[in-house]
């Protein structure tokens, strides 16, 4: 078995579900993390197959064991780990798992598929546009759309934070229901895209992230993914 390559200590802790990278930095700064019996410092690098890493005296396994789940987020729930306004968050809907974080966001008034993971590399791969992971949505509008409107969505519009477009757009049953495929996930981008061509989104549900589909997952329910 080959040795694991060296990695920054905060990343090591995050990949093993101890805390987020920021949370791991706080543990290190508080002197709660030791490497080979010595209190560590911020920015330290460890070799997982060689170094012994402990937090509060508890040994952290060298092998990373990641947890990834998908959740059908209901309307009214915010996509964050905690909320200063005491609103219900996605973390209230699932069993607590150290280091589990939502990947990207779904607005409080939107619903559907949300990925949560303890794997920082996976989170980056899913959320960063350069990796090409698309998101698919179904939007219910205030009125029916024409073929010209669908062409506008894919041709693109100018928003206050730059141009935006759908990769694909088609009717989803009724004339006022549209399925769109997006390559990125800027704040409220789908709603703003429709607003730019004169439509109000009455309901928005994300039905897929890359190859992961919402399927029959019930509102507010979650399921774990296999490796």
Show the tokens assigned to 183: 């390559």
CA distance 159 to 148: 19
CA distance 54 to 57: 5
Which one is catalytic: 83, 107, 109, 119?
107
**CA neighbours closer than 13 Å in the CB half-sphere of residue 151:** 3
Distances (CA, A) of 7 to 38, 48, 58, 180, 186: 18, 8, 20, 39, 30
- Residue 56 designated active-site: no
CA distance 51 to 90: 35
The single-letter DSSP state of residue 51 is -
DSSP secondary structure string for all residues of 94-148:
S---TT-EESS---TT-EEEEEEES-HHHHHHHHSGGG---EEEEEEESS---HH
Q: Identify the H or E element spanning 201.
A: strand 201-209
The single-letter DSSP state of residue 165 is -
Q: Which residues are catalytic?
A: 107
């Amino acid at each position: 078995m080959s040795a694991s390559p060296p990695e920054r200590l905060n990343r090591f802790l995050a990949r093993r579900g101890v805390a987020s990278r920021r949370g791991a930095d706080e543990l290190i700064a508080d002197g709660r993390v030791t490497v080979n019996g010595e209190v560590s410092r911020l920015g330290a690098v460890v070799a997982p197959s060689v170094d012994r890493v402990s937090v509060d005296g508890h040994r952290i396994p060298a092998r990373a064991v990641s947890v990834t789940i998908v959740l059908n987020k209901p309307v009214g729930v915010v996509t964050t780990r905690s909320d200063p306004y005491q609103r219900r968050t996605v973390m209230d809907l699932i069993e607590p798992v150290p280091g589990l974080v939502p990947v990207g966001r779904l607005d409080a008034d939107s619903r559907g598929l949300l990925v949560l993971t303890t794997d920082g590399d996976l989170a980056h791969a899913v959320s960063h546009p350069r990796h090409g992971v698309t998101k698919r949505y179904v939007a219910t509008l205030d009125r029916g759309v024409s073929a010209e409107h669908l062409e506008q969505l894919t041709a693109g519009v100018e928003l206050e934070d730059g141009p935006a477009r759908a990769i694909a757009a088609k009717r989803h049953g009724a004339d006022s229901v549209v399925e769109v495929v997006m390559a990125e996930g800027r704040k409220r981008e789908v709603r703003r895209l429709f607003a730019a061509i004169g439509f109000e989104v009455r309901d928005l549900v994300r039905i897929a992230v890359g190859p992961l589909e919402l399927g029959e997952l019930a509102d507010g329910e979650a399921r774990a993914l296999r490796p």
